[in-house]
Amino acid sequence: MPQLPFLATNDVRDRFSKAMSAMYQTEVPQYGTLLELVEQVNQETLSQQPELRRRLEAQGELARLSVERHGAIRVGSAEELSMLRRLFAVMGMYPVGYYDLSEAGVPVHSTAFRPIEDEALACNPFRVFTSLLRLELIENEALRQRAEEILAKRDIFTPTARELIERFETQGGLTAEEADQFVNEALETFRWHQDATVDLDTYQALHDEHRLIADVVCFRGPHINHLTPRTLDIDEVQRRMPSVGMNPKAVIEGPPRREAPILLRQTSFKALEESIRFAGDAQGTHTARFGEIEQRGMALTPKGRALYDQLLGEGRKQTGGLNNDAHQAVMDKVFAELPDNDEAMRREGLAYFHYHLTGAGKAAAQSVTTDMDVLIAKGFVEAQPITYEDFLPVSAAGIFQSNLGGGENEAYAGNANREAFEEALGASVTDELALYAEREQASKQRVLAALAG
C-alpha cells in the first residue's frame, strides 16, 4: 500500500494555531471581544495610513496580520520542556532565544518556539513563549521538595499525542488525517482545567511564595495563559479597551510610540479571577489567564539593541508608579536619542533591513556598483525593516507581574543560566540576532546577483 503524502509542517502549525484560538475564545469569551477590537483598529489604521498598507503588502505582512498570534505557557520540569520541544517540531517550530526573567523578579527562564524560515513565517508566524519554572530559586526547601513531588506525578501529554510525536520523528511527517488527530490531542496539553491537583493549603503556600509557582505546579497542565493578536496601533487599543468592558494593565510595556516602530510593545487586559475546585472539595479562585496585545516593529542589531537596553534602563528608573500617559511621555523623552526614521536607523546600523529590487532596478542595465547606499539613492533598490519576531524579557516580566499581582521579587533577580535551560530543553536555542543578520545578508546577495545579470 503506497504511503500517503505528509502534510507540510507549516500546515500543521496553521491548523493548530487556529484550533488554539477557537478553544481560547470558548474558554475566555473576552478574548473574542479583544480580537474584534484589534481588527477594527487595524482596519481604521490601514485606511488612514496608505503608505503603511503599501509597505505591509510589499513585505508580505498584510495577509498574515489577521492570523498572527503568539501564545504563552509555563512548565514545571525538564521532561515537560523537552517533550514540548518535540511537540512543537511537528509544527515546524524551534526554540529561538534565551530569556532570563529572573532579572525582573520572576522565577522562570524561557525560549520562544517559532518558525525560522522566511517562507514559514509568511505562511503562519505562530509562536509560543515557553517558560520553565526554576524550582532551585525557591529558598524554602520543604516547599521546593513538595513542588517537585507534585510535578513528578503528572503527565501533561496524552498517550496519543506522545505516539503521534514519535510517529512524526520515525516516518518524517504526518498525513493530513494524522495531523488532525495530533492537533486535537496536542490541544489537551493547553486546555484549562478548573480542578486543581492539590489541596487549598498547598496551593496557598505555593501562591504565597510566588503566584506563578502556584500557577505552574497546581494544575494538570500548562494551560495557555494568553494568546496575542497583533495590532498596528496599540495606544488606540489600550484607550478603547475600557469601552468594551476590559480593564487594561496600567502601562504599555516596551519602547514608546514612534514613527519608525522598533522591537515589541505589549499590553493586556487584566487576568480573570476564575473559580477553582481544590482536592478535598474546597472552593477557591485562581488568577492567571489574560488577554495580551502586541505591536511589532523592526528588529534591532546588537548596536541598536545595546542602545535600546540602555535607554530602557534609564526610562524605568523614572517611570515607577506613573500612569500610562505619564509613563509614555517620559519614555518618549528618553528615547529621543534613538533616530526615529527608517533610513537613519539603517545608515547607523541600528536595525536589520530586507533589500529588494524596485521596478527601476529590475529594468536597469547591469549595475557597476555594489554599494547599497548608491543603489538606493538611484532608486534601484528599496530597503524595508525586518519585523522583530521575538520577545523582550523585561516586557514579558512586566506582563506577568501585572497579571499575577505584586511587583518584582529581588530574591530571584540576576540568576541567568542558559546552560541549564538548554540541558533541560535537550537542544541549543537559536540566536535570534543571527537569524536577522542572515536574512539581511541573503537579501543583499539576491539583489546584487540580479543586478550582476
**In terms of Cα–Cα distance, which of 232, 306, 292, 179 is closest to 62?**
232
Looking at residue 13, what is its pLDDT? 96
How would you label 115-140 residue by residue, b for 16+ Cβ within 10 Å and e otherwise? bbeeebbebbbbbbbbbbbbbebbee
- Report pLDDT for 407: 46
Using a CB cutoff of 8 Å and minimum separation of 24, what contacts does 242-249 make? 244/33, 244/36, 244/37, 245/30, 245/33, 246/30, 246/33, 246/34, 246/291, 249/399, 249/402, 249/403
Distances (CA, A) of 325 to 128, 204, 250, 256, 293: 30, 36, 10, 11, 18
User: Does residue 451 lie in a domain region?
Assistant: no
How many structural domains comprise the chain?
1
Specify the pLDDT at position 1.
Answer: 46
Give the predicted TM-score (pTM) of the model: 0.88
Band of the pLDDT at 82, cuts 50, 70, 90? very high
Question: Would the pLDDT of 251 be above 80?
Answer: yes
Any bridge partners for residue 292, and if so which?
A: 268
Q: What is the pLDDT of residue 211?
A: 81
Q: What is the mean pLDDT of residues 48-69?
A: 81
Q: What share of the chain in percent tops pLDDT 70?
A: 92
What pLDDT was estimated at residue 409? 47
Q: What is the extent of the structural domain holding 245?
A: 9-296+390-416
Q: Is residue 446 part of a domain?
A: no
Examine residue 217 and state whether it is found in any structural domain, yes or no: yes
Rounded alpha-carbon distances, angstroms, from residue 3 to 173, 179, 344: 11, 15, 54
- pLDDT at site 399: 56
The radius of gyration of the chain's CA atoms, rounded to the nearest angstrom, is 23
In a domain, 373, yes or no: no
Per residue in 94-140, pLDDT (tens digit) is 999 999 887 767 788 999 999 999 889 888 889 999 999 988 888 88
Pairing of strands 108-114, 94-100: antiparallel
Question: The CATH number of the domain where 67 resides is what?
Answer: 3.10.180.80
How far is residue 223's CA from residue 287's CA, in Å, rounded to a whole number?
Answer: 12
At residue 436, the pLDDT reads 96
> Is 252 a member of any domain?
yes
* Residue 88 or residue 275, greater confidence: 88
* Confidence check: pLDDT of 89 > 60: yes
Query: Is the residue at 411 inside a domain?
Result: yes
pLDDT tens sequence across 176-223 = 999 999 999 999 999 988 888 888 888 888 888 888 888 888 888 888
Q: Are 447 and 366 in contact (CB under 8 A)?
A: no
- Domain contains 1: no
pLDDT per residue over 217-228, tens digit each?
888 888 887 788
Instruction: Give dist(CA 193, CA 131) in Å, integer.
Output: 19
Mean pLDDT of the chain: 87
Q: Does the pLDDT value for residue 21 go beyond 50?
A: yes
Residue at 201 is within a domain: yes
Quickly count: other Cβ atoms within 10 Å of residue 392's Cβ. 21
pLDDT digits (tens, 9 = 90+) for 153-172: 999 999 999 999 999 999 99
